[in-house]
Amino acid sequence: MTAPSASDPALETTDYLVIGSGIAGLRAAIELAPHGRVLIVNKGKPPESASEFAQGGIAVVLDPQDSIEAHISDTLLAGKGLCRPEAVEVLIKEGPDRVRELIRWGARFDREQDRYILAKEAAHRSARILRAQGDATGTEIMRALTGKAQQLQSIRWLVQHFTADLLVEEGRCIGAVLLSESKGVRAVGAKSVVLASGGAGQVYLRTTNPPVATGDGMAMAYRAGCALEDMEFVQFHPTALALPNAPTFLLTEAMRGEGAILRNPRGAAFMKRYDPAAELATRDVVSRAIWQEMQAGNTSHVYLDVTHLNAAFIRKRFPTITQTCLRYGLDITRTPIPVAPSAHFMIGGATTSLTGATSLHGLYAAGEVACSGVHGANRLASNSLLEGLVFGARAGEAVAAASSEHAVEISAIQSALAKRLPEWIARRSVFPAALTTAAYRLKEMMWNQVGIVRDQASLTQALKRLEDWESLSTAPIASQAEGEFKNLVTVALLIVRAALLRKNSIGAHHRSDDPEPGKSPDSRHIAFHGPDRPKGYWA
């Protein structure tokens, strides 16, 4: 990594800085485009984001037989009493218009003649999952949003630039510091910043998330003093491919919606023993049931069986899954699929208002990096793409309205940089091999000790190990690999500290040592407000 010069790192300004290029980031950028210059920063190459890999679909009320009230009710029930009702109402009521807007921009969802095909997924009382190309909904939405954004001349992309930290001056976010392997350190100043950097699945050994999901946005927001909450709620997807030498590939919940059956290694269906809804129970219930079957059988997986369904239907309905499994020698129309739960979605994140505003002036957040309150303790299937669309647009609207009062002040950016520049210059990167080993050990520890089921002893052991790692990574980030490891440590610490504070089991947070499983858990939220308050507090 090239060190910055002692005089001045590369410095540029824009009106609006969007960090991340998934659904939430692109939707915010499109909303901002008529109001000024927009710079989208991505540490990989678009469309490298979790949005691209979303299979199942987007939950939205389009069927006249369905209702907004029913979707709201299903979302609140899945959230186990911890959703913010006003946020859920915004999500569900504004969702149909945002999806229709996406269709006008060219999104091609699956149809039968003159109507859209709507699928049913777990914990939805109605078929309301809009899909594209069978199981490639995220790819299609990203194609439409990217195409729309590329038509707008005021939007510019900066790819393969890692956002190391936010720039804060006098309590306001005024930009960010970026790292590039080829160009070293550079700073971007802006009237406002929209954080849309996605989740943190890579904190676990098994995850459906892409390699870029290292919790960067959550960690840098925390370092900047921004409030974060609900970090104990990590949603594990029940069914990810569990073949040797194969990626942890997501097998959409829609497969169970179409009739797939979960079986243990003896071939017995087991879900009805855990919940009357069987395979259509909420994700937290299904994940724990699979985990318990794996523990009981001392096995690394169970099976998802679609062999009783029509083979032609399966190949047409799930083409991506069918072809991916065939690449690894598995014909899912003939053979049950080995599956195991994997870390999938961060419910917690930077606390936001209904307009995406965080507790740090000038900083907005949308998508998985944010905690808007719509998911509560357990996300309802296929609500996440809708969240990205609705709250990405809302953040863009709010930024455009608020930023008219501000100018990009070069002097403020230079002042913020000057405070950090000596540290940046003095820092040298850690040897990459050491970081790779440490990151693997962290992920393994989180999977074994802070996974689907936790307890006081395992969480306490994890906390001590993470605090040791934290003490070794206090210096400024000097490379992307070092930055990602530091961010993984920060996010893991927040997950563990929150999990220790919440003694009861609820939703995606399950403690085997819950002293009173039948008692209603605390309905408050656990929050953190930057390194100065590392212990967390009840909000």
Q: What is the set of active-site residues? A: 283
CA distances for 289 relative to 262, 281, 307, 346, angstroms: 10, 10, 22, 20
Residue 257's SS3 state is helix
How far apart CA 182 and CA 537 sit, in angstroms, is 42
How far apart CA 129 and CA 56 sit, in angstroms, is 8
Tokens matching residue 6: 């002692």
Tokens matching residue 175: 């930009």
How far apart CA 290 and CA 275 sit, in angstroms, is 12
How far apart CA 418 and CA 176 sit, in angstroms, is 13
Cα separation of the two ends of the chain? 40
| Burial readout 436-474 (b: 16 or more C-beta within 10 A, e: otherwise) | eebbeebbebbbebbbbbbeeebbeebbebbeebbeebe
| Phi and psi at residue 321, to the nearest 5° | -65, -45
Q: H or E element: which one contains 482?
A: helix 480-501
133 near 54, Cβ under 8 Å? no
How far apart CA 529 and CA 176 sit, in angstroms, is 19
How far apart CA 438 and CA 426 sit, in angstroms, is 23
Cα atoms in the Cβ-side hemisphere of radius 13 Å centred on 385: 30
Amino acid identity for residue 530 in this structure:
G
How far apart CA 407 and CA 427 sit, in angstroms, is 32
* Greatest C-alpha distance within the chain: 69
